[in-house]
Structure 1
């Protein structure tokens, strides 16, 4: 049986930290930034821990 391949899109978007947690960047920071306040852009810069419900699907995509 061949090896399972990693989903490249998921590999670029998520990083594993600790035992069973993933981090991701926040949405809405790609474009249309003129109308967003500096405070909002500053808060969008931070990374966030992925919710518990999504970790199982991400783990499957990354073949961990």
Structure 2
């Protein structure tokens, strides 16, 4: 049987927490920041977690994490 390959694009975007959940960065942080409020930009800095409905798909992309 062939080896399982990690999806490299996903591997660069996600990390695993101690409890096994997937940590992700939030979207909408890279450009057009002038119209976003300071509060919104501040809250975008914090990492989020992958939703439980997508967890199974992400684990398939990242078999070795």
The normalised TM-score by structure 2 is 0.88
Over 3 Å off, 4+ runs: none
CA-based RMSD: 1.1
2:37 is matched with which residue?
Answer: 37
Larger helix fraction of residues: 1
Gaps of 5+ in 1: none
Larger strand fraction of residues: 1
Gaps of 5+ in 2: none
2:14 is matched with which residue?
Answer: 14
Q: How many residues align?
A: 64
The normalised TM-score by structure 1 is 0.89
